[in-house]
Amino acid sequence: MTTHAWRKSTYCQEGEACVHISTDHNRVHITDSDAAQSIVTVTPAAFTTFLGFVKSL
């Protein structure tokens, strides 16, 4: 089992209901809690595209 070094979003309000990100060599892992029950894994390029879209809203 892989251990992730989760970083919490700086836009998070109080509590654990926020986005946590962990990266490794060629993947970005995203979850909504540092307990990480469900993890979405994408490429850095896909994550960059996603961030560009969110910032355009």
Q: Could you read off the pLDDT of 3-39 as tens digits, one per residue?
A: 788 888 877 776 667 888 999 889 999 988 756 678 9
Length of the chain as a residue count: 57
pLDDT (0 to 100) of residue 29: 93
Position 32 scores a pLDDT of: 82
Cα 55 from Cα 57, distance rounded (Å): 6
CA distances from 22 to 31, 33, 52, 56 (A): 9, 11, 18, 23
Domain ranges of the chain: 7-56
Q: Compute the radius of gyration of the chain from its Cα atoms.
A: 12
pLDDT given at position 2? 66
pTM score, two decimals? 0.75
Q: Which residue has the higher pLDDT, 33 or 42?
A: 42
